[in-house]
Amino acid sequence: MAFEKYSGARKTSRGPLVTIRKTGQIVFNSAAAREMKIVDQPAVSLYYDKDTNVIGVKAESDSKAQGARKLGKLGQTRTISASSFIHFFGIALKKNIKIVPSYDKKKDLILLDLKKTVRGASRRGRRKNK
């Protein structure tokens, strides 16, 4: 048996990207957390527009504000436990989805358009066939 050395590097996303996992967890990568100015916030509030299928995320300086969800921290990445939110609004997630967030200054909301998903960097290396 001959061994082949894997020398591929993990592909990473450098731009702002939000992952909504089928478990209901919403994850802002470090670029999205910085750009959307939630890195230093303790909590967020979640909104949903059924007509446009868009999730709204609003930064909250008070983690005890009504409906506020605490932001989890993993380095510069920020996470939101939103499974009850996802179930309450009946948002169907068959798989994890990735979205490039946008910001609505007028409404002071981070917008996650569920119709505009993107393909993210894969975590699995690909083996070359010889």
State what percent of residues in the chain have pLDDT above 90.
77
Give pTM, 2 decimals. Answer: 0.81
In the chain, domain spans: 18-118
Contact 118, 98 (CB under 8 A): yes
- State the residue for tokens 């504000």: 65
Rounded average pLDDT over 24-35: 95
Instruction: Report pLDDT digits (tens) over 94-111.
Output: 999 999 999 999 999 999
Contact 26, 79 (CB under 8 A): yes
The C-alpha torsion from 18 through 24 and 25 to 28, rounded to 10°, is 10
Nearest to 12 by CA among 128, 122, 125, 124: 122
Distance of CA 87 to the CA centre of its chain: 17
